Structure 1
Amino acid sequence: MSVHSTQYSFRPKDAFLGAQMLFVAFGALVLVPLLTGLNPNVALFTAGAGTLLFQIVTRGRVPVFLASSFAFIAPIIYGVETWGIPATLSGLAAAGVFYIILSFLIRFFGVEALRRVLPPVVTGPVIMVIGLVLAPVAVFMALGKTGDGSAVLIVEWKALIISLSALCTTILVSLLGRGWLKLIPILCGITVGYVASLILGVVSFDAIIAAPWLAVPDFVMPEFSWKAIMFIVPVAIAPAIEHFGDVLAIGCVTGKDYVKDPGVDKTMLGDGLATALASALGGPPNTTYSEVSGAVALTKVFNPGVMTWAAIAAMLLAFVSKLGAFLSTIPVPVMGGIMVLLFGAIMVVGMNTLVKAGHDLMEPRNLAIVAVIVIFGVGGMSLPFGGEFRLGGIGLAGVVGVVLNLVLPCKDCSEPLPQEKEGCKTD
């Protein structure tokens, strides 16, 4: 069987290809836990386990790799600071359950139901809010401060050299990189920033020396918290619609219609189960990785079995304790430099979602929905919901957006999803 086959085949000779796929995803995969306070070794394990679970649910049809979702960075940071990691994990697990429920709705009512509830006029501004609310965190960390700006960790001039070197490298590689290099801009940026940190003498290797070579990842179990659940679940609105686009995108690469076989209901179910599993073990929510889809397009390796090897490699690497210790030595400004571009990119993705939809944003209905979502989310609006619980920020913005879309009169809400109108576009 050639590597161009889209049929599942698990062969030992594909192990190296699988390792390459993991290498492409590695930078983004570990970035989320490093930014949010979760354990990177656990994130590696849950990415691998989630990918295997996804393959089981989709019967090994789709060549994708699942790993840490950027969309949940803001709520995880807030949740960890407010309720702690175990309670935050219960909210993330509930987001996985939300995907599972969506998958059954899609199965019974079709993809059209997803479009009605989560059109671009809702998901676009929600994605924008996710990026915008994180802007201060990125700037503070780029300046060598803690995420809330309350303490200085590294003197400003050193921090700026480090963060700007990481930022500029990431931008240049994404613009000028060729082949495999173009697929790993984040990893390149982190590498250059880390080298700059070594030169400026702000890296300590004590954690690496103290860590054993091999150890079981530090799994954390969730603790039920209604506050965390009600805050985080609405954030899953945006990634849910993005999932549909991801499935279409990888189908364009391989020439297969995954919306029909195995069906977007199956892929959404796999995504939900993978996210719930990851959160149950202490890892961030999972999502399909566009970097890996780009690698599939570049190499023409369409065999989903290669992703099985990538998943196994991630799970094995999770037990290398010194790797996690090494990642913990990456200075804050390196992460800050990457975050400036990353969170800005998330905001731009939201803008692009609105642009591709082709709606007139000055039309009163669209203007009202977008305006309320953005201002509620970025402004930090919160509403009381009994007792001490308040729903606010991204969560409130998402809920209000869905409600406004459903209740405000709409002249023509029958247009197809923007991805459906565009069809497949490959380089």
Structure 2
Amino acid sequence: MENKRIIQVEEKVPFKMLVPLSIQHMFAMFGASVLVPFVFGINPAVVLFMNGIGTLLFIFITKGKAPAYLGSSFAFLAPAGIVIEKWGYDYALGGFVAVGFCGCILALIIYKFGSKWIDVVLPPAAMGPVVALIGLELAGTAASNAGLTDSSIDMKNVVVFLATLLTAVLGSVLFRKFFAVIPILIAIIVGYAAAIFCGIVDFSEVATASVFAVPNFSLPKFKWEAIVIILPVLLVIASEHIGHQIVTSKIVGRDLLKNPGLHRSLFADNFSTMISGFIGSVPTTTYGENIGVMAMTRVYSVYVIAGAAVLSIICSFIGKMTTLINTIPGPVIGGISFLLYGMIGTSGIRILVESKVDYGKSRNMAMTSVIFVTGLSGIKVQFGSIQLTGMVLACVVGMLMGLLFFLLDKAKLTNDREEV
């Protein structure tokens, strides 16, 4: 953590440094990444496996020029939750495959035409509230996981929830050096210890679990309605990916959008998501936590990232470990979710701030207002057997408004367009 010099992207790292630095990267993504399979109700083993495989694929496809760790994507939580509730997790997997495939096509389109058109379809005034809705829409789920919405609240759940949440919140502002990178993981450990103390953890499955076990792979099923519900997330994750690549470029001092190219990194990201859907895992995305690790340590080596990916794959085959992870009770997950879902909402607001959205313009005010109300009002739009609601419907509405304003600009009918 006290390195004076920068270790660049292509540099090899001595083994005595490689192991702890790789462990650090794995820890950085661990807490957030395993939370997604908890929300979906699946074993995290296959997710840890695919995070590792996806990261190695990303490094290979980008020719080792773009350091990035792929963890579980939160953008899919709300629409996938709808699909899982209606048809089951297998059909959500089909949606993940479809989004990944379309993302690969999008990468080819960007290779041919560039990426500026994304700002036309979802400008910052629309993208910000859409991203915010991903977290805000899940607020009730966090409270439910913590047991805070039950008709009779168990004080044991409250104690565990508060121990987890306070550790995460205080840790994010008080921890330093290595611990500042992993406040989520530390909060899970503290909350888990509190749950053991309160007697709400059942270790019976851990005792009977095998030391080594093959991850629980499963195959997707495809339903057109399920795909349509999940597909709008594509533009959200594409914009998120571009943002991550821009930030990483600033950190490493290279323009990664040009070399290896946005088309390569976006293709790699979505190809990993497509493979995830085929084997029963959750969608993957470049992780801000690991970007933070690079910024703090000034170690950008892809060999370190690859080492963390290999460790994640190894962990996925340790049966007792993944079973132990599954025993983490709801109040712990609820405590972490309170912070993480709020952070997703805040990241949407951050897009508005960093993009310097001018709310003196009527279009920006109208777009953000309509998207927020659409996403939070509970409105449902039915097309045959397809139902759009929440963030998905808000995203579609934002895209339609973006295209409408673009066409009105071209026709020189708007009163706030920028004259060229």
Provide TM-score, normalisation by structure 2.
0.92
Structure 2 residue identity aligned to 1:336 = G
Aligned to 2:143: 139
Judged with a 3 Å threshold, the aligned counterparts in structure 2 of structure 1 residues 42 and 414 are, in CA distance, closer, same or farther, namely farther
How far apart, CA to CA, are the structure 1 residues paired with 2:195 and 2:418?
53
Aligned to 1:296: 294
How far apart, CA to CA, are the structure 1 residues paired with 2:61 and 2:31?
27
How far apart, CA to CA, are the structure 1 residues paired with 2:358 and 2:21?
45
Q: Give yes or no for contact 1:103–1:269 (8 Å, CA) kept in 2.
A: yes
Superposition RMSD on alpha carbons, in Å? 2.0
Aligned to 1:77: 81
Residue of 35, 46, 60 corresponding to 2:64: 60
Q: Tell which deviates more after alignment, 84-93 or 110-119.
A: 110-119
Structure 1 position 11, deviation (Å): 6.8
Aligned to 1:32: 36
Q: Secondary structure in 2 aligned to 1:67?
A: strand
Q: Secondary structure in 2 aligned to 1:391?
A: strand
Q: Give yes or no for contact 1:125–1:373 (8 Å, CA) kept in 2.
A: yes
**Is there any run of 5+ residues in structure 1 with no aligned partner, and where?**
416-427
User: How big is each residue's C-alpha offset from its partner over 1:277-298, in whole Å with a ceiling of 9 and x where there is no partner?
Assistant: 1121111111111111111122
Judged with a 3 Å threshold, the aligned counterparts in structure 2 of structure 1 residues 226 and 377 are, in CA distance, closer, same or farther, namely same
User: How big is each residue's C-alpha offset from its partner over 1:101-157, in whole Å with a ceiling of 9 and x where there is no partner?
Assistant: 221121111121222223211211111111111111111222356xxx5x87xx521
Judged with a 3 Å threshold, the aligned counterparts in structure 2 of structure 1 residues 162 and 396 are, in CA distance, closer, same or farther, namely same
Residue of 226, 229, 234 corresponding to 2:227: 229
**2:7 equivalent to 1:4:** yes
Structure 2 residue identity aligned to 1:263 = G
Aligned to 1:260: 258
How far apart, CA to CA, are the structure 2 residues paired with 1:270 and 1:170?
32
Aligned to 1:129: 133
Structure 1 position 26, deviation (Å): 1.1
**Is there any run of 5+ residues in structure 2 with no aligned partner, and where?**
none
Residue of 300, 305, 308 corresponding to 1:307: 305
Q: Secondary structure in 1 aligned to 2:232?
A: helix
Q: Give yes or no for contact 1:53–1:274 (8 Å, CA) kept in 2.
A: yes
Structure 1 position 406, deviation (Å): 0.6
Q: Give yes or no for contact 1:202–1:331 (8 Å, CA) kept in 2.
A: yes
Aligned to 1:394: 391
Aligned to 2:337: 339
Aligned to 2:324: 326
Structure 1 residue identity aligned to 2:117 = A
**2:269 equivalent to 1:275:** no
Q: Give yes or no for contact 1:165–1:192 (8 Å, CA) kept in 2.
A: yes
Q: Secondary structure in 1 aligned to 2:71?
A: strand
Judged with a 3 Å threshold, the aligned counterparts in structure 2 of structure 1 residues 55 and 413 are, in CA distance, closer, same or farther, namely farther
Q: Tell which deviates more after alignment, 208-217 or 12-21.
A: 12-21
Structure 1 residue identity aligned to 2:394 = A
Q: Give yes or no for contact 2:212–2:318 (8 Å, CA) kept in 1.
A: yes
Structure 2 residue identity aligned to 1:397 = A
Aligned to 2:158: 160
Aligned to 1:425: none
Structure 2 residue identity aligned to 1:63 = P
Judged with a 3 Å threshold, the aligned counterparts in structure 2 of structure 1 residues 172 and 109 are, in CA distance, closer, same or farther, namely same
Structure 1 position 361, deviation (Å): 3.0
User: How big is each residue's C-alpha offset from its partner over 1:306-346, in whole Å with a ceiling of 9 and x where there is no partner?
Assistant: 11111111111111111111011111011111111111111
Provide TM-score, normalisation by structure 1.
0.90
Q: Give yes or no for contact 1:10–1:308 (8 Å, CA) kept in 2.
A: no
Aligned to 1:424: none
Structure 1 position 360, deviation (Å): 2.9
Q: Give yes or no for contact 2:228–2:386 (8 Å, CA) kept in 1.
A: no
Q: Give yes or no for contact 1:95–1:272 (8 Å, CA) kept in 2.
A: yes
Number of aligned residue pairs:
407
Aligned to 2:400: 403
